[in-house]
Amino acid sequence: MAKAFPQSVLFCCDHNSVRSPMAEGLMKKLYGQRAYVQSAGVRSDMDVDGFAIAVSAEMGIELSRHRSRSFDEMVEWGDDLSSFDMIVSLSPASQRAALELTRFAHIDVEYWPIMDPTGLGETREAKLQVYRQTRDQIASRMIDRFGAPLAGD
């Protein structure tokens, strides 16, 4: 059974280039404007991954304009992490960072262990399959946690 739906969610992973941008896009696609949604990484040293862009586009999710950003950049740009109701970390490093950054704030931090598809698969099609598995893992966890998507999606 789904828990209460948050007003704002921050998804995070290592580089904000694969898992967390896919999660941000999926959340917006599945639940519309029901919640304010952003994503960040422990670091922002990589562009959004082309395979993540491709498998997201298969579901009508546009990631090619996403700009990777780190927790530090969020703070520099005026985003207050304590303004989020919930942070969902998708990697062990982002879980540690989220817990550290929110240790004095009352924010739910959930860890969803989502497979990192980078470096897996030999051919283009094999790589796409692994990225689809990651995308579908995120979607499944999201529906389990937040309930059925909005009608029409």
- Between CA 22 and CA 17 the distance in angstroms is 8
Q: Tell me the pTM.
A: 0.90
Measured in residues, the chain has a length of 153
Beta strands in 1-136, from DSSP E residues, in sequence order: 8-13, 36-41, 86-89, 108-111
pLDDT tens digits for range 4-57:
889 999 999 999 999 999 999 999 999 999 999 999 999 887 789 999 999 999
Question: Residue 70: beta bridge partners?
Answer: 41
Is residue 2 in a domain? no
Is residue 150 in a domain? no
Does 71 have pLDDT greater than 90? no
pLDDT at position 42 is 92
pLDDT at position 115 is 92
Is residue 94 in a domain? yes
Give residue 153's pLDDT band: very low, low, confident or very high (50, 70, 90).
very low
Is residue 3 in a domain? no
Taking the CA of residue 122 as centre, how many other CA atoms within 13 Å lie in the half-sphere pointing to its CB? 0
We report the CATH number of the domain holding residue 82 as: 3.40.50.2300
Is residue 69 in a domain? yes
